[in-house]
Amino acid sequence: MRYRQNRNPSVFQKDMEELFDYTVEQTRSITAIFSAEDYSVLYISDNAEELLGVEKKDYLGNIINLLEMGTRDNRPEIPADIFLDRLNPGDSVEADVIRWTNPKTGEKKFLQGHIKRNIIEGEDIFFIVVTDKTDEVSRRHQMQEMIDVANAANQAKTNFLANMSHDFRTPMNAITNFNLLIAKNSENPQKVRDYTHKIELSCESLLGLLNDVLDMSKIESGKAKLNNEEFALGLLLEEVNSVVAFQAKGKKQEYCVHAGGMQQDLFKGDKQRINEILVNILGNAVKYTPEGGRIDFTITEEKALTTGYWDVKFEIKDNGIGMSKSFQETIFEAFTREDKASTRGIQGTGLGMAITKSLVEMMGGTISVDAEEGKGSVFVVKLRLPGLSQDQGKFWSEHGIRRILVIDDDLKECEKIEMALHDTDVEVFFSTSGYRALHLVDVSDEDEKGFDVILLGMKVLRLDCFEVAERIRFKKFRRQPIILLLTEEWEEIAEKARESGITDFLTKPFFMSTFQQIITDIVNRNLQAMQERENSIMGMRFLAAEDNDINADILTELMAMEGAIVVRAKDGAEAVEMFEKAEPGSFDMILMDIQMPVMNGYQAAEAIRKLEKEDAKDIPIIAMTANAYADDVQKAVKSGMNAHVSKPIDMRVLEDTIGGLKVNNEST
Ligand code: ADP
């Protein structure tokens, strides 16, 4: 199409133009011819308007406006007229690829022009063919992106290896050097203890690193499997909190756990892995928060839409160094660490968060982070877990618990505990006031029912919780457990609490699992104490028949270490004689070797039982046999002995045996 009317195209030229227009249309190229004098357009293909999104009327008079609309990458812009002026008649040039945004549709393209200048019939003219290079350029960009990603991954791995070898080398060096120091200071036990402790710490750090690397490679290769077992969230949180509270305390940070209103305790899932997720995030919160900072751990749960499932949300908030927005986008990628002044000197591999995210996703959950540099970070993990109903079975009756008293100013907490024990045989009484609680204790004592366990909150109306405990102890003879329900670190108040008669500590929020755990611990502890009391041989007197001097010395020594007295007889006959002559009650028990000269153990035991002496029939006699075959044991019983232990003597076995006989004797 021609726009200068003074030209008369020949028929041939017309055909050529049609053909040209067709080709241009097919290749989606734009062709134009314009004057070098005033940049007026002599010819432009029909597709220009549509492809460029600019109306012809805007550039027919001067094409420079149009040429200036594109933007070039990398190179400084040269005004189009100056660029064209640099081209001499007869020259042609491939222009730079420009980015073009269609002003009508907003579509973005990459275009490239091929320009030629020539003098035709005395007229100075530019020819330009503009080709759409969008596909080619995007392909190139894609390739470049892929190369960049591969390079970045390579770089990350190189950095990781450099970090790792540094991280591995630090504890390795410590181990090697402290080992040398131990060799040099082997005479100084205090130093040796100090060095071995430091070696232990380095070994732990090495092991942690190795575990991280192995864990990551296991997850990446898809080999990591999840357990699907029943677990109690309360116990899990207790484990996590004890680890994190300890770390936070080391940095004088405030560590606050908020989990009020939790109802569901039993779930199905991988407890160990959930523990790992939480300890990773909480551990980072401690690590990347300066001394004296604060960490808040909030756990909430709500019934999911899917029946039987619960949505459990863990939120970990710190007021530490925070992270830049750009780093937050890569935090969950393996081997990444934010490189800034405040993270330098803090040990790490950049694997923890990658492992954490993989684990969360393996469980079908989500993890997100929101942080502000210098202000702190918030991590949120959401897991959907199947909840299980708690079958408390005979737990309470088996542990001897029938009545519980709860004393706490928070009525909701009291009611929650009552609700949790609703389906059991346990009677729960509660009081928000200290005085009323003391009254309840009085009344229950009067009707001789008593409380088997007292749960005492830190805040009680009208009286200090320690005073309540003290007064209960004063009133009550029976030392039933008083468990303090805590909201803070118990170590701080442990001494005061123990002095006032509190026996145990339970951290709020109240979970059935942690409560049952503490009851089990208390019962086991009481049993153990009872056993120790029974087994104690302190102050007991033994007559021991033993012909071998060395064995006799060892026995006397071992028994003396436990506070018992051993009087030795050299053979069976001497034992019988010594027993006969001693005042009744002089000996608590007799230890009888079997193979002895003059009279063996069986004969001696028989002779003792036949003596006409007050305690001859009842005094427990324990056989000490080298071989405890069934017929030896039988012979011992037949000769009137009560028990046997095998030689060489194991003091624990001997004490257990003596304890058992003491109980039997006392009960008869
Ligand atoms: P690392 O072993 O380096 O701690 P992680 O994968 O656990 O590795 O964390 C990756 C990086 O994320 C850390 O190096 C740190 O830069 C940043 N980061 C993680 N948690 C926090 C946090 N609570 N506050 C600030 N930065 C954090």
Residue 68 falls within a domain, yes or no?
yes
* Segment 221-238, tens digit of pLDDT: 777 788 899 999 988 998
User: Does pLDDT of 477 surpass 60?
Assistant: no
Compute the distance between CA of residue 62 and CA of residue 3 in angstroms, rounded to an integer: 13
Residue nearest to atom 25 of ligand 1 (CA): 322
The pLDDT of residue 490 is 67
Residue 422 falls within a domain, yes or no?
yes
Residue 379 falls within a domain, yes or no?
yes
User: CATH code at 306?
Assistant: 3.30.565.10
The pLDDT of residue 360 is 95
Q: Which residue has the higher pLDDT, 220 or 119?
A: 119
Q: In terms of domains, do 24 and 88 share one?
A: yes
Q: In terms of domains, do 541 and 594 share one?
A: yes
User: Does pLDDT of 7 surpass 60?
Assistant: no
Q: In terms of domains, do 662 and 548 share one?
A: yes
The pLDDT of residue 76 is 65
Closest alpha carbon to 48 in 38, 59, 39 = 59
The pLDDT of residue 2 is 47
* Segment 382-407, tens digit of pLDDT: 999 999 987 777 888 888 899 999 99
Residue nearest to atom 2 of ligand 1 (CA): 348
Domain span at residue 308 reads 229-386
Helices in 28-133 by DSSP H: which ranges?
A: 48-52, 64-67, 80-85
The b-or-e profile of 261-287 (16+ CB within 10 A means b, else e) is ebebbbbbbbbebbbbbbbbbbbbbbb
Taking the centre of ligand 1 as the mean of its atom positions, its distance from the CA of residue 284, in whole angstroms, is 6
User: CATH code at 441?
Assistant: 3.40.50.2300
Given 483, 505, 523, which residue is the final one in a domain?
Answer: 523
Residue 190 falls within a domain, yes or no?
yes
Helices in 188-296 by DSSP H: which ranges?
A: 189-220, 233-250, 271-287
Q: At what angle do helices 271-287 and 233-250 cross, to 10 degrees?
A: 20
Q: Which residue has the higher pLDDT, 80 or 490?
A: 80
Cβ of 285 below 6 Å from ligand 1: yes
Given 198, 220, 242, which residue is the final one in a domain?
Answer: 220
Q: In terms of domains, do 492 and 407 share one?
A: yes
The pLDDT of residue 628 is 62
Taking the centre of ligand 1 as the mean of its atom positions, its distance from the CA of residue 327, in whole angstroms, is 10
Q: In terms of domains, do 379 and 362 share one?
A: yes
Q: In terms of domains, do 566 and 651 share one?
A: yes
Lowest mean pLDDT among 89-98, 527-536, 644-653: 527-536
The b-or-e profile of 169-199 (16+ CB within 10 A means b, else e) is eebeebbeebeebbeeeeeeeeebeebeebb
Give mean pLDDT, residues 100-104: 90
The pLDDT of residue 251 is 94
Q: In terms of domains, do 238 and 127 share one?
A: no
Q: In terms of domains, do 382 and 235 share one?
A: yes
Residue 4 falls within a domain, yes or no?
no
Q: In terms of domains, do 147 and 91 share one?
A: no
Helices in 41-117 by DSSP H: which ranges?
A: 48-52, 64-67, 80-85
3-state secondary structure (DSSP) of residue 622 = strand
Residue nearest to atom 19 of ligand 1 (CA): 284
Compute the distance between CA of residue 255 and CA of residue 246 in angstroms, rounded to an integer: 10
Compute the distance between CA of residue 215 and CA of residue 134 in angstroms, rounded to an integer: 44
Taking the centre of ligand 1 as the mean of its atom positions, its distance from the CA of residue 331, in whole angstroms, is 7
Residue 296 falls within a domain, yes or no?
yes
The pLDDT of residue 655 is 87
Residue 1 falls within a domain, yes or no?
no
User: Does pLDDT of 633 surpass 70?
Assistant: yes
Cβ of 376 below 6 Å from ligand 1: no
Q: In terms of domains, do 35 and 69 share one?
A: yes
Question: How many domains is the chain partitioned into structurally?
Answer: 5
Q: Which residue has the higher pLDDT, 592 or 217?
A: 592
Q: In terms of domains, do 235 and 349 share one?
A: yes
Q: In terms of domains, do 270 and 337 share one?
A: yes
Residue 2 falls within a domain, yes or no?
no
DSSP, residue by residue, 449-517:
---SEEEEES--BSS-HHHHHHHHHHH-SS---EEEEESS-STTTHHHHHHTT--EEEESSP-HHHHHH
Q: Is the peptide bond before 648 cis (omega within 30 degrees of 0)?
A: yes
User: CATH code at 198?
Assistant: 1.10.287.130
Taking the centre of ligand 1 as the mean of its atom positions, its distance from the CA of residue 283, in whole angstroms, is 9
Lowest mean pLDDT among 63-72, 282-291, 366-375, 634-643: 63-72
Tell if the pTM clears 0.85, that is, is over it. Answer: no
Given 523, 542, 574, which residue is the final one in a domain?
Answer: 523
The atom number, within ligand 1, closest to the CA of 355 reads: 6
pLDDT band at 577 (very low <50, low <70, confident <90, very high): very high
Cβ of 282 below 6 Å from ligand 1: no
